[in-house]
């Protein structure tokens, strides 16, 4: 069982500190959501875990191994998947090509892996020949998630996957991620402002305020009153 642990993490944008001693842990098959308003440090946390934003102090470990200074691509190879807030993908390549780019980079990948992710996002099937730049926001997000899943991560980091996306597609995205979580034991770290969904999807939560964890716990143990407070974030 793979475990990702973040201990006392400090990170800055240049001279401006963004995270002040964040602790967090998540196991393969587990799930945690990171809640908090705009600007509290959710994206900085995701980027620091992936090695996109340098860590100033503290450690990130994966299965007990210190990966704090490891470059992002090695973290991906070890089993961390990432869907950044700005949805990735190549606008000029078709949907099929975007999926293939990822598939070809993973030794042992099978064509059937693509069918597998397309079954989760059937909306993408008739769009395989379309350039990704012509997709709607929701379709692009589904493509971004499909691409991340093709790397066969053990733990997937999603940064506000539902931001600016129409409700019907949000429901499909939730369903697909939960399916991977339940079926393949995919671990999930989800930054969200859509608190209701995040609490539904994740077993644990942390709340960030100004770069610090101000509360944390199990979502199942939240009283109605505490859940209400989180919903008001």
Ligand X SMILES: Nc1ncnc2c1ncn2[C@@H]1O[C@H](COP(=O)(O)OP(=O)(O)O)[C@@H](O)[C@H]1O
**Which is nearer to ligand X, 50 or 146 (by Cβ)?**
50
| Positions in 84-113 near Mg ion (CB under 5 A) | 85
Name residues contacting ligand X, limited to 37-66 (CB under 6 A): 38-44
Q: 77 Cβ partners below 8 Å, 6+ apart?
A: none
Q: Which of 16, 112, 168, 223 binds ligand X (CB under 6 A)?
A: 16
Least Cβ distance, residue 194 to Mg ion (angstroms): 13
Distance CA 212, CA 37 (A): 12
Distance CA 196, CA 198 (A): 6
Helix (H) or strand (E) holding 215: strand 212-218
The contact pattern for Mg ion, residues 38-77, with x = CB under 5 A and - = no contact, is: ----xx----------------------------------
32 binds ligand X (CB under 6 A): no
CB 33 within 8 A of CB 41: no
The number of beta carbons lying within 10 Å of the beta carbon of residue 54 is: 12
In the numeric block, which tokens belong to residue 19?
Answer: 């995270």
How many chain residues bind ligand X (CB under 6 A)?
11
In the complex, the smallest distance separating the C-beta of residue 22 from Mg ion, rounded to whole angstroms, is 14
CB of 127 to ligand X, least distance (A): 29
CA distance 199 to 201: 6
Nearer to ligand X among residue 42 and residue 140 (C-beta): 42
Residues near ligand X (CB under 6 A) are: 13, 16, 18, 36, 38-44
């Amino acid at each position: 069982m793979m475990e990702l642990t973040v201990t006392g993490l400090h990170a800055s944008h240049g001279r401006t500190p963004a995270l002040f001693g964040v602790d967090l842990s998540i196991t393969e098959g587990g799930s945690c959501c990171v809640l908090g308003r705009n600007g509290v440090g959710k994206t900085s946390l995701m980027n620091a875990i992936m090695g996109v934003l340098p860590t100033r102090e503290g450690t990130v470990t994966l299965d007990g191994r210190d990966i704090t200074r490891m470059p992002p691509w090695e973290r991906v190879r070890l089993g961390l998947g990432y869907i950044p807030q700005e949805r990735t993908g190549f606008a000029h390549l078709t949907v099929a090509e975007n999926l293939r780019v990822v598939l070809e980079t993973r030794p042992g990948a099978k064509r059937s892996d693509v069918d597998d992710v397309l079954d989760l996002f059937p909306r993408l099937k008739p769009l395989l020949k379309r350039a990704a730049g012509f997709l709607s926001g929701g379709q692009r997000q589904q493509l971004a998630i499909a691409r991340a899943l093709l790397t066969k991560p053990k733990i997937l980091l999603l940064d506000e996957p539902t931001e600016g996306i129409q409700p019907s597609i949000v429901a499909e995205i939730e369903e697909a991620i939960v399916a991977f979580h339940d079926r393949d034991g995919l671990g999930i770290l989800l930054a969200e402002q859509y608190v209701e969904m995040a609490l539904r999807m994740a077993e644990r939560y942390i709340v960030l305020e100004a770069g610090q964890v101000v509360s944390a716990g199990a979502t199942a143990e939240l009283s109605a009153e505490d859940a209400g407070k989180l919903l008001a974030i």
